[in-house]
Amino acid sequence: MEQRVVHFQGRVQGVGFRYTTCQEARALNVTGYVKNLPDGRVELVAEGEPAELDRLLAGVREQLGGFIRSEQTDTLPATGHYNDFRVTH
């Protein structure tokens, strides 16, 4: 199990980014959250098996890639802190 913290930049707010990411995550065995940041980026924190996290990020890129200019990913050990996946504010 691992945690991935991804910061997406581009036109990622106001285009259904969080909703779509949440739907992708809920279809997988992934927990965590997605939220808008004040600086215009979107933060995704997801925990699960590496293959499930790869699927989540591939799905986000496939559906929303046209809005993403860049992304930064950090991989950390999973915390087990999350029970589900949700949009937070």
Task: Show which residues are catalytic.
Answer: 18, 36
Q: State the DSSP H helix or E strand holding residue 45, giving kind and residue range, or none if neither.
A: strand 42-48
CA 38 and chain centroid, separation: 17
C-beta separation of 31 from 84 below 8 A: yes
